[in-house]
Homo-oligomer: A and B are copies of this chain.
């Protein structure tokens, strides 16, 4: 126990972490900074820094004038990890896609076992959105906007699946992956066209998966998802190869931490 040298902030962080994970439930409020400072016999500043650490870890929500509240866990802290892991690194994106593959297949599998009416409706709705957007992409309107919407519904489809899988953690993880994957989606579309595919192909693939899910065929759903993602990987690769300087630049990191 050489805890004497442990910095004061770390001590408070550890204590508060135990408190949050152990006794408090999401939505509960921490004591005031002053009270905590007295409790742990440190200055208010030290408490403040500890609380900031916890907010960075996604365990606390902070707001001016209000006490710190215990946060409902979501995947946002996971998103930071992903963003960091992929910076300056094409390999990171491929790794990410492989992870996504695993989770999406699991998502489809579980979904087929547990699908409910409401879940099916949500998926169907996303699917409809994709159909509409695809039609508009062929039309004369604003093509870029339609494309954007297509991606939107594509992501929405996968999120609806994760939600309907009944596994909240899976949902959080896939949601967190959505942001970094946006880039990949754009690449994917580009590669898609490069390889002579159309948005309709994507829709068809999604329909196949959904069909298996509604039939309660978990193995078939997994298989359909697997081949869908295999295509996606090929598209991304094609797009990457087509423009070797993979057009870095994404900017706008502003994660909204306070809803």
List residues of chain A with CB under 8 Å of any chain B CB. Answer: 7, 9-10, 14, 17-18, 20-22, 25, 45, 48-50, 52-59, 64, 71, 73-75, 77-78, 80-85, 87-88, 92, 95-96, 98-99, 101-103, 105-106, 110, 167-170, 172-173, 251, 253-255, 257
Contact A73–B84 (Cβ < 8 Å): yes
A50: chain B residues within 8 A (beta carbon): 52
Residues of B within 8 A of A84 (CB): 20-21, 58-59, 71, 73
Q: What's the nearest-Cβ distance from chain B to residue A214, in Å?
A: 21
CB distance from A228 to the nearest CB of B (A): 16
Residues of B contacting A173 in the complex (Cβ-Cβ under 8 angstroms): 99
* A95 lies within 8 A of B168 (CB): yes
Residue in B9, B95, B103 whose beta carbon sits within 8 Å of that of A99 in the complex: B103
A95 touches B21 (CB 8 A): no
Q: Are A167 and B18 in contact (CB under 8 A)?
A: no
With a cutoff of 8 Å between Cβ atoms, the chain B residues found around residue A80 in the complex are 57-59, 77
Contacts of A92 in B (CB 8 A): 169
Complex CA gap A65/B96 in Å reads 36
- C-alpha spacing A18/B84, complex, angstroms: 11
How far in angstroms is the closest Cβ of chain B from A152?
A: 23
Interface residues of A, dominant DSSP = helix
The residue of chain B having its C-beta at the shortest distance from the C-beta of A7 within the complex is B64
- 16 additional A-B pairs beyond A56-B56, A99-B103, beta carbons within 8 Å, are A10-B257, A14-B253, A17-B255, A18-B251, A18-B253, A21-B83, A21-B253, A49-B49, A53-B55, A56-B57, A73-B84, A95-B167, A98-B167, A99-B170, A102-B103, A103-B103
Question: How distant is A72 from chain B, measured CB to nearest CB, in Å?
Answer: 9
Across the A-B interface, the 3 shortest Cβ-Cβ residue pairs? A56-B56, A102-B106, A73-B84
Tell which of B7, B53, B81, B103 touches A53, judged by Cβ atoms closer than 8 Å. Answer: B53
Provide the residues of chain B in CB contact with A7, threshold 8 Å.
64
Cβ–Cβ < 8 Å partners of A17 in chain B: 253, 255
**Within 8 Å CB of A101, what residues of B?**
106
Residue of B nearest to A248 (CB): B22
Closest Cβ neighbor of A80 among chain B residues: B57
Question: Taking the nearest CB of chain B, how far is it from the CB of A186, in angstroms?
Answer: 19
Residues of B contacting A85 in the complex (Cβ-Cβ under 8 angstroms): 73, 168-169, 172
- Chain B residues lying within 8 Å of A254, measured Cβ to Cβ, are 14
Provide the residues of chain B in CB contact with A88, threshold 8 Å: 25
